[in-house]
């Protein structure tokens, strides 16, 4: 099985604060990989490193076999040009806690923007696919609505459709439901479950342990910039081996 994401000894510091202290992990193609851990443990930073929104200080990150952000020549690494980084990023969809939709564009326009501007797709093609994607996330009737006219959960589903419009091979979710009112969480998780069933490779930072247990193939518990424990979600959640994992889970479960 080829790894969609491979991290080898990934280190990241901000100033003299070490946030990632050597992350090693592998995400298989088609896998739903859940990442949990306390606030400040480095989960978002790690996700941001995967699409080179943050530069790493040591180690290697590969997506689909390709080194992220650098080219290696002999033992030396050379940082890629912005255009090359942008090309790598196109294959990676990212959904944040806050939906970050373009406020002056309708749902449909939000979803067509990147395929037209970045990939040079025709407007007609992009619009047709955007319509299908909005259907898929249960918002076929909201194509003409502006973000301000949509609930948080609906906006988040538009954000997922927008990421999917680029036909990514990997989707990164950073606490996609944690800013939502509880009654809106389910619809977003349903969309993510559907996406998982379609075979998408997903890394999901989440506090939704039910989702991790039911949909996740792997679960990693991170604390203070290291992977403390990993395994099948059911095992880690019901029978954690490490004290730190036990103590964290006792607070969130």
Footprint of ligand ATP (CB under 6 A) = 14, 19, 37, 39-45
Judged by CB, which is closer to ligand ATP: 19, or 107?
19
Select from Mg ion, ligand ATP, none the partner in contact with residue 148, using the beta carbon and a kind-dependent cut-off of 5 to 8 Å.
none
Query: Least separation, in Å, of the C-beta of 179 and ligand ATP?
Result: 11
Beta strand extents in the chain (DSSP E only) = 3-14, 17-28, 32-36, 58-63, 66-67, 70-73, 76-79, 92-95, 170-174, 201-205, 218-223, 226-231
Judged by CB, which is closer to ligand ATP: 19, or 158?
19
Question: Considering only CA atoms, which of 64, 22, 5 is closest in space to residue 222?
Answer: 22
Query: Least separation, in Å, of the C-beta of 19 and ligand ATP?
Result: 4
Judged by CB, which is closer to Mg ion: 6, or 43?
43
Select from ligand ATP, Mg ion, none the partner in contact with residue 39, using the beta carbon and a kind-dependent cut-off of 5 to 8 Å.
ligand ATP
Phi-psi group of 147: left, alpha or beta (phi > 0 → left; psi -120 to 50 → alpha; rest → beta): alpha
Question: Quick one: tokens of 178?
Answer: 């944690």
Please choose, out of 40-48, 132-140, 157-165, 209-217, the segment that lies near Mg ion by the rule CB under 5 A: 40-48
Query: Least separation, in Å, of the C-beta of 126 and Mg ion?
Result: 31
Question: Quick one: tokens of 236?
Answer: 């880690």
Angle ∠(200,23,87) on CA atoms, nearest 5: 50
Please choose, out of 41-49, 50-58, 122-130, 133-141, the segment that lies near Mg ion by the rule CB under 5 A: 41-49
Select from Mg ion, ligand ATP, none the partner in contact with residue 40, using the beta carbon and a kind-dependent cut-off of 5 to 8 Å.
ligand ATP
Query: Least separation, in Å, of the C-beta of 13 and ligand ATP?
Result: 9
C-beta separation of 177 from 208 below 8 A:
yes
Our finding on whether 44 is near Mg ion (CB under 5 A) is yes
C-beta separation of 33 from 27 below 8 A:
yes
Which positions lie near Mg ion, rule CB under 5 A? 44
């Amino acid at each position: 099985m080829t790894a969609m994401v491979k991290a080898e000894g990934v280190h990241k510091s901000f100033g003299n604060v070490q946030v990632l202290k050597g992350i090693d992990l592998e995400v298989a193609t088609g896998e739903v990989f859940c990442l949990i851990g306390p606030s400040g443990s480095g989960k978002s930073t790690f996700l941001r490193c995967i699409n080179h929104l943050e530069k790493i200080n040591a180690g290697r990150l590969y997506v689909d076999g390709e080194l992220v952000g650098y080219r290696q020549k002999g033992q030396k690494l050379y940082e890629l040009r912005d255009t090359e980084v942008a090309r790598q990023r196109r294959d990676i969809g990212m959904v944040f806690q806050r939906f970050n939709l373009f406020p002056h564009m309708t749902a449909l326009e939000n979803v067509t923007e990147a395929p037209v501007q970045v990939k040079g797709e025709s407007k007609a093609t992009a619009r047709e696919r955007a319509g299908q994607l909005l259907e898929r996330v249960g918002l076929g009737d909201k194509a003409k609505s502006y973000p301000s006219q949509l609930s948080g959960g609906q906006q988040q589903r538009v954000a997922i459709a927008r990421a999917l419009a680029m036909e990514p091979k990997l989707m990164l979710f950073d606490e996609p439901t944690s800013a939502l009112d509880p009654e809106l969480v389910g619809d977003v998780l349903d969309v993510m479950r559907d996406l998982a069933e379609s075979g998408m490779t997903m890394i999901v930072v989440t506090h939704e342990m039910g989702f991790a247990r039911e949909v996740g193939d792997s679960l990693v518990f991170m604390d203070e910039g290291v992977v403390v424990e990993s395994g099948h979600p059911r095992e880690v959640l019901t029978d954690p081996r490490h004290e730190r994992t036990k103590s964290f889970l006792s607070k969130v479960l």
